[in-house]
A and B are shown apart, each in its own frame.
Chain A
């Protein structure tokens, strides 16, 4: 158990809908990261928050947004869903904003299926 929790574990929804994925980081970690794992794109970095502020963006679509709250949990919002958004979404957390020695610990993931 990494200490990172994600809910829900599974999510099935229809095209055009909007969903929210939730992540609670390990105790003491200030950075939260979101990654998407799909068959065609592999594991890709989406976005990083540190202590409530956005710090880095990767290949995140404009239909997707995220935030980190004062209690450090984070939510990833996916809207106008398309079939191609079906994937496993991972949250990770770490202590630092940027550090060579920092280690990211991953949650169990949320499997999103868009029908």
Chain B
């Protein structure tokens, strides 16, 4: 079945460092891909999405490119801030007649001043 694999956390960075959180997927058909972020004590917020191969999603300085050849959707940010500290979830919506999201395990990012 469809699945998402994320890099294990926690990821600890200093402010202004470059961030990469790896995400790879297994899916039949042509999934849509998402990154959601969960700040402490809050719900999930959509960070960015891409619905077809080679699409780049971007928001708040974060970017991810849908790579069909490597089945990946890695999240990047050029310069992280303390306020980016949160749990990041990669997710896919598989093909077919369902909108259900399949999530990775989440990656905790801690940014130190």
Contact = CB atoms under 8 A, between A and B. Distances in A.
Contact of A106 (B30, B43, B96, B102): B43
Interface residues of B, number: 25
Interface residue tally of chain A, by bracket?
A: 20 to 34
Interface of B: 30, 32, 34, 36, 42-46, 49, 51-52, 89, 93, 96-106
B45 A2 contact: yes
Contacts of B43: 2, 4, 90, 106-109
B98 A56 contact: yes
Contacts of A53: none
Interface in A88-115: 90, 92, 94, 96-109
For A99, A104, A109, which residue has the most chain B Cβ atoms within 10 angstroms?
Answer: A104
Contacts of B96: 98
Given A100-B51, A100-B93, A101-B51, A45 B100 contact: yes
